[in-house]
Amino acid sequence: MKWSPSTRMPRRKSLTCQMTLETPREAMKSPVSFFSLGLFGCLLAGLISLEGVQAASCPANWLDYNGRCYGYFAQEVNWQRAEAECQRSGGHLASILDEAEHQAIASYLQQAQRWDDEDVWIGLSVPGRSRAWAWADNSPVGYTAWEKFKSYPALKGEHCAVLEESSGFLLWDNDSCYDRNPFLCKV
């Protein structure tokens, strides 16, 4: 095994680290020590970055869908507290950007919430004095699944969205942000 920096270093901030295996016979001589030495050299040179690396899988009992992890929390809290808890987990209350994602989430919640019958907070709200719905993670609002006539927060003072348990989590409803509900995080 032979460690070396890339042959041509581009003139930019990011550098690369490359380890190459010369022959299987050389690798058999002492693969661990050469690998460790090469890795140590890369670490010292600051050429290894974990930026953009995603976990191989989601935590137990979370939904792994399209490279994202979704976690259901049965603790009943208001919308702001739910968003803060999701941020502590490295994400936000869940944004739902298309029907396929919505179907996957609904199926997951039907299993996760088998014995409860509570609506579930998602990351959609009407922030501040705005009259427009916005996702907590700043994703664009395109896809929606509102229960009929339910997307008008200014009329009722209900500025946060839930997935309705009574619809199998297939419809959204607006709710007072101060109500207490379980919540769904997206990381």
Query: Using an 8 Å Cβ cutoff, are 143 and 97 in contact?
Result: yes
pLDDT of residue 21: 44
Q: How far apart are the C-alpha atoms of 169 and 4, rounded to whole Å? A: 54
Token pair of 38 as six digits? 């090469």
Q: How far apart are the C-alpha atoms of 148 and 168, rounded to whole Å? A: 15
Domain boundaries, the chain: 2-45, 63-186
Q: Which fold has domain 63-186?
A: Mannose-Binding Protein A; Chain A (3.10.100)
For the chain, how are helix, strand and coil distributed in percent, rounded to 5?
30, 25, 50
* pLDDT mean values, one per 10 residues, the chain (187 residues): 37 43 42 45 50 68 97 97 98 98 98 86 91 95 87 70 96 95 98
Q: How far apart are the C-alpha atoms of 184 and 41, rounded to whole Å? A: 42
First to last CA, the chain: 37
